Chain A
Amino acid sequence: QVQLVQSGAEVKKPGASVKVSCKASGYTFTTDAIYWVRQAPGQTLEWMGWINTVNGNTKYSQKFQGRVTITRDISANTAYMELSSLRSEDTAVYYCARGRYGSGSYHFDYWGQGTLVTVSS
């Protein structure tokens, strides 16, 4: 069965960086894109960016451009999301999700369990 398993919770100080991993199993990793979505406490879902797992091409939300880097390691069936210059507003649960394309847009059929990132001095 398809699974996306993320790394564990992180506590970071303002200004630091965090790198979250997302290991895929149960399907061919390079078949689909991996998206990263975050959810601040009590807030809605917010798209951060995505990676083409075949060629490594990425696209980032304007909001996070310059602070977020998404990479992948095909040999490890794993995608990574690194967010730098952390501030308290970045405290959130970060999710990876598998993107499936159809009818002109992507939807997300499998999600990781989420990784809580807490930014606090």
Chain B
Amino acid sequence: QSVLTQPPSVSGAPGQRVTISCTGSSSNLGTSYVVHWYQQLPGTAPKLLIYGNNNRPSGVPDRFSGSKSGTSASLAITGLQAEDEADYYCQSYDSSLSGPVVFGGGTKLTVL
């Protein structure tokens, strides 16, 4: 049971827009702690996709964007491409005994 809750899977057709949610609580996202997102392609290490709620590292396409409101955060991917098929994880700070680093359970994105 992960501290941050994500849907197990989402899917979309090429060119479509999909969103992945990340729901927390008062000890993490609800305390204005920021959220970060990672993409993990099969058999590889995670890659930083979004940091500080909505900042993209150099090299990450602007098709990827993040937002946060209250105890929830979202990752949006527009113009879906086959290469986006991967697992996505959210991560934040948690002030409870679970922390300080907590991850979501991960979401498998399937490009139809």
Contact = CB atoms under 8 A, between A and B. Distances in A.
Interface residues of A, number: 26
A59 B53 CA distance: 25
Interface string A91-104: 00001010010111
B26 interface: no
B15 interface: no
A44 interface: yes
A106 B48 contact: no
B45 A47 contact: no
Contacts of B47: 111
A35 interface: yes
Contact of A105 (B33, B48, B89, B106): B33
Most buried by B among A44, A45, A62, A95: A45
B12 interface: no
Contacts of A108: 36, 38, 46, 48, 91
Given A46-B103, A109-B57, A104 B45 contact: no
Contacts of B48: 107-110
Interface in B1-48: 2, 32-34, 36, 38, 45-48
B84 to A, nearest CB: 19
Contact of B34 (A61, A104, A113): A104
Interface string B61-103: 0000000000000000000000000000101110001101111
B41 to A, nearest CB: 12
A62 B102 CA distance: 12
Contacts of B52: 102-103, 107
Interface of A: 35, 37, 44-47, 50, 59, 61-62, 95, 97, 100, 102-114
Interface of B: 2, 32-34, 36, 38, 45-48, 51-53, 57, 89, 91-93, 97-98, 100-106
25 contacts: A37-B101, A44-B89, A44-B103, A44-B105, A44-B106, A45-B38, A47-B101, A47-B102, A47-B103, A59-B100, A62-B97, A95-B45, A95-B46, A100-B51, A102-B34, A103-B34, A104-B93, A106-B101, A107-B48, A107-B52, A108-B91, A109-B48, A110-B48, A111-B46, A112-B45
